[in-house]
Amino acid sequence: MSDKAPDTAGMDYLQTLPRRWVTVYIPMIVFLILLLFPFYWMAMTAFKPNEELVSRAANPFWIVSPTLAHFEKLLFRTDYPQWMWNTVLVSVVSTFASLAASVFAAYAIERLRFRGAKQTGLAIFLAYLVPPSILFIPLAAIVVQLGLFDTRWALILTYPTFLIPFCTWLLMGYFRSIPYELEECALIDGATRWQILVKIILPLAVPGLISAGIFAFTLSWNEFIYALTFVSSSETKTVPVGVVTELVEGDVYHWGALMAGALLGSLPVAVLYSFFVEYYVSGMTGAVKE
Amino acid sequence: MASVTLSQVRKSFGSTPVVLGVDIEIADGEFCVLVGPSGCGKSTLLRMIAGLEEISGGDIRIGTRVVNNVPPKERDIAMVFQNYALYPHMTVYENMAFSLRLAKAPKEEMERRVDEAARVLGLVEYLGRYPRQLSGGQRQRVAMGRAIVRKPQVFLFDEPLSNLDAKLRVQMRTEIKELHQRLKTTSIYVTHDQIEAMTMADKIVVMNAGVTEQIGSPLDLYDNPANLFVAGFIGSPAMNFLPGKITAAGIAIGADIHLPMPANNLAEPGREVIVGVRPEHLAVADDGVPAEVVVVEPTGADTQIFCKMAGVEITAVVRERHDFKPGTAVRLRPELTYIFEPASGRRLA
Ligand SMILES: Nc1ncnc2c1ncn2[C@@H]1O[C@H](COP(=O)(O)OP(=O)(O)OP(=O)(O)O)[C@@H](O)[C@H]1O
Ligand SMILES: [Mg+2]
């Protein structure tokens, strides 16, 4: 990517300052506002006392006397910490399980070239296109028959149904960008298939693994339908489901606590992204650079 | 070290035949160069010897062992790839030590061998670097180092110099040759550059369209090409070819050029032939054949004269300096000619 920098710098003389405002800065600012406003609103609501929230006179965009009351309610008078723990556990386990399965699947489809490898790749992709809103009914039947209803296992085992196809596709593209000669050279050097995978392919695919991992983690962190249907007791709920089912009582919306829950729930993902953003970008754009 | 023997080796990709029955014998310690135009099957043949492609027919022997179904790592060979195929995530040291590490060689032994190879190749100060921090020539050396630390029976090279600039190529050519003289490991080297072939080889195999056209020492191929293809491929600038006809007196080229008969076993008046003359076998002489100068290119040591003879563009290389202008009439005397049969390309004399 650093190779590209001189190119854009070279075009700079075409860009006068007013022109840059029109083509770069103003669109960027509009985009940022659109993107960040929901988070701003969420944060405002989470710290606002209830009186200000419902008052018509109060400024909706500002807080006069910020409070931690909603967080206090969330953390000490609901099962929120338990939901958080469930979400972490389910997301981490299903992400790692899916990554492991996807590495083998993607490598086999991309490099072992068995008969029907192409069709298998396509079939996996098609599986990803089936929407969860159709799948959750038959999956629910399976979950119940396995006796997993209302356990964390129900989620840990069903999330890979959409994570594996996704990760496999991402990794297939990544493996494809690793030159064949490296593997052939390793083969001559005396490596077995397994050693090639572990010592050559995986170290080179680290950016791909990280971006697949982040994606899978985010998808399972935010998953809603399966979590809503496959678990019912408060102790097994995940954050997205727990927040909307337990903090809305009848037609009473505990807006402050809801927003506080959403805010806390989105923090881990945001932190994860910020750590790996560079790998993430290079993972999405592929290519092993020598 | 070992000899390598190919007998009737064939290869098809699906229904497309690519290598059509090749016989080559490479003696222990020999430096053999496979040369031929692009797409003639050189790499495919080399990859079959390495065990990276399956063999569709025939036998490949390394030493006395038939290796047709032996996996690459048990063939005791090392290969240098055109794009070097260095492991990007390993340092130079780790790249060179990789095969020894897989073979579970003791640590001191590994260090000693990598050190030795690094010293031979002048890589000692680069051992801690990653491939991306090296120049093309240095990467090339690392690829060679990776091959020599293993002390294999056979080295395989697939156009290892084609990514280097002209000057470095000449330098590396010499280095590889020196290395071979020092290690005396049987080597098979693929190139499409006939100069590389001529300068490096003990034995050249000229390939074309999946078959071997001729096998022999460099000078043997130069002096005695078996057919039109080899004659045109070996030698630079390439041999000139003129269409001719056998007459009672000799060989007629066009209406007014008559060459003496090179050998008397062709006495078959009226037969069409192709006459081949190497540029360096054309001398400027008063009793020569008339031609018209088109372009003159002095290189310092000698001068290439491009001219038209009997309507055909030909090249002459002369050592003495002449002041020819385009359009001048010159007389060139062929000192040595080769006669080929047009249809089969076979050499007649
Ligand atoms: N995997 C493959 N599948 C089908 N055809 C192939 C395959 N590999 C090579 N070929 C064909 O085999 C022929 C010989 O290829 P090869 O790579 O051996 O040529 P080469 O002599 O090494 O040429 P170059 O000098 O360009 O490297 C080519 O016509 C090529 O198209
Ligand atoms: Mg080739």
Residue-wise pLDDT for A38-59, tens only, equals 989 999 999 999 888 888 888 8
A121 near A109, Cβ under 8 Å? Answer: yes
Q: What burial class does residue B94 get, using C-beta atoms within 10 Å of its C-beta: 0-12 exposed, 13-18 middle, 19+ buried?
A: middle
Residue B214 burial by CB count (10 A; 0-12/13-18/19+): exposed, middle or buried?
A: buried
Per-chain mean pLDDT for chain A: 86
* Partners of residue B51 in chain A, C-beta under 8 Å: 188
Q: Which residues make beta-bridge pairs with B274?
A: B243, B340
Let me know: does A230 contact A158? Beta carbons within 8 Å. Answer: yes
Q: In the 8-state DSSP scheme, what is residue A130?
A: S
State yes or no: pLDDT of A12 exceeds 80: no
Say yes or no: B50 contacts chain A, CB-CB below 8 A. yes
Shared domain for A201 and A257, answered yes or no, is: yes
Which of the four pLDDT bands, split at 50, 70 and 90, describes residue A285?
A: low
- For residue A10, tell me if it sits in a domain: yes
The Cα–Cα gap between B342 and A64 comes to 100
Mean pLDDT of A81-97: 95
Same domain, A12 and A145: no
B140 lines ligand 1 (CB under 6 A): no
pLDDT per position as a tens digit, A56-82: 888 888 888 888 888 998 899 889 999
Eight-class DSSP state of B279:
G
Q: A203 to chain B: which residues are within 8 Å by CB? A: 89
Domain count, chain A: 2
List, run by run, the mean pLDDT of 10-residue segments along chain B (349 residues).
Answer: 91 93 93 93 94 92 92 92 91 94 92 92 92 90 92 92 87 90 93 91 94 94 93 91 84 78 69 90 86 89 89 90 85 88 86
Sequence-ordered strand ranges (E) for B182-302: 186-191, 203-208, 211-216, 240-246, 250-253, 257-260, 272-277, 282-298
Evaluate if residue A290 carries a pLDDT over 60. no
Computed over its alpha carbons, how large is the radius of gyration of chain B? 24
Is there a contact between A67 and A49 (Cβ–Cβ < 8 Å)?
yes
3-state class of B167 per DSSP?
helix
- For A:121-150, CB contacts with B below 8 A are none
Work out the average pLDDT over A225-230: 92
Three-state DSSP class for A178? coil
**Rounded CA separation A95/B295 (Å):** 71
Ordered alpha helix ranges (H), chain B: 42-50, 92-102, 107-121, 136-148, 166-183, 194-200, 218-223, 228-233
Question: Which residues form the domain of A50?
Answer: 4-67
State CA A135 to chain mean position distance.
Answer: 20
Q: Given pLDDT bands bounded at 50, 70 and 90, which one contains residue A9?
A: low
Task: Please check whether residue A23 touches B, CB under 8 A.
Answer: no
pTM: 0.82
ipTM of the prediction greater than 0.90, yes or no:
no
- SS3 at position B296: strand
- Three-class secondary structure of residue B337 per DSSP: coil
Taking each helix axis as running N to C, give the angle between helix A255-285 and helix A26-47, from 0 to 180 degrees, rounded to the nearest 10. Answer: 140
- B215 closest CA partner among B35, B20, B3: B35
Pair of tokens at residue B75: 């063939």
Q: Is the pLDDT of residue A161 over 70?
A: yes
Q: What is the DSSP string of B19-66?
A: EEEEEEEE-TT-EEEEE-STTSSHHHHHHHHHTSS--SEEEEEETTEE
| Residues around the ion ligand 2 (C-beta < 5 A) | B 43
Q: Is B15 in the pocket of ligand 1 (CB under 6 A)?
A: no
Query: pLDDT band for position A10 (50/70/90)?
Result: low
A147 belongs to a structural domain: yes
**What would you report as the CA-atom Rg of chain A, rounded to the nearest whole angstrom?**
24
Does the CA dihedral A203-A207-A209-A213 come out positive or negative? positive
- Residue A90: pLDDT band by 50, 70, 90 thresholds? very high
Q: Please state whether beta strands A252-253 and B272-277 pair in parallel, antiparallel, or not at all (unpaired).
A: unpaired
Q: Cβ contacts (< 8 Å) between A189 and chain B: which residues?
A: 73, 98-99, 102, 146, 150
Residue at which a domain ends, from B233, B267, B289: B233
Residue B349 domain flag? no
Query: Ligand 1 pocket check: which of B10, B13, B34 to mutate, most ligand atoms within 8 Å of Cβ?
Result: B13
Q: Rounded mean pLDDT of A118-144?
A: 88
Going by C-alpha positions, the residue among A147, A167, A184 that lies closest to residue A220 is: A167
Distant-in-sequence, close-in-space partners of A28: CB < 8 Å, separation ≥ 6: none
Domain of residue B138, residue span: 4-233
What is the mean pLDDT of the segment spanning A100-105?
95
Asked which of B233, B256, B271 is the last residue of a domain, the reply is B233
Contact A190 B86 (CB under 8 A): no
Strand order in the sheet with B186-191: B77-80, B154-158, B186-191, B31-35, B203-208, B211-216
Its sign, for the CA torsion A220, A222, A228, A232, is positive
Q: Give the pLDDT of residue B221.
A: 93
| Dihedral Cα B72, B73, B74, B75, nearest 10 deg | 50
- pLDDT of B271 reads 82
Do both B94 and B33 map to the same domain? Answer: yes
- On whether both B106 and B152 belong to a single domain, the answer is yes
Residue B54 Cα to ligand 1 midpoint, Å, equals: 14
d(C-alpha B34, C-alpha B24), whole Å: 10
Question: Which CATH number fits the domain that encloses residue B271?
Answer: 2.40.50.140
> Where among B199, B217, B233 does a domain terminate?
B233
What's the one-letter identity of residue A37? F
Residue A72 lies in a domain: no
Task: Tell me what pLDDT residue A5 has.
Answer: 43
% of chain A beyond a pLDDT of 70:
91
CATH of the domain at A283: 1.10.3720.10
- Higher-pLDDT residue of A225 and B323 is A225
* Inside any domain, residue B108: yes
Does B257 or A194 have the greater pLDDT score?
A194
Report the DSSP pairing between strands B272-277 and B338-340. antiparallel
Give yes or no for residue B210 CB within 6 A of ligand 1: no
Evaluate: CB of B87 within 6 angstroms of ligand 1: no
Closest residue by Cα to atom 25, ligand 1, is B38
| pLDDT given at position B244 | 87
B-chain residues within 8 Å CB-CB of A179?
83, 85
Q: Tell me which residue has its CA closest to atom 26 in ligand 1.
A: B38
Residue A31 lies in a domain: yes
User: For ligand 1, is residue B43 a contact (CB within 6 Å)?
Assistant: yes
Q: Is residue A216 part of a domain?
A: yes
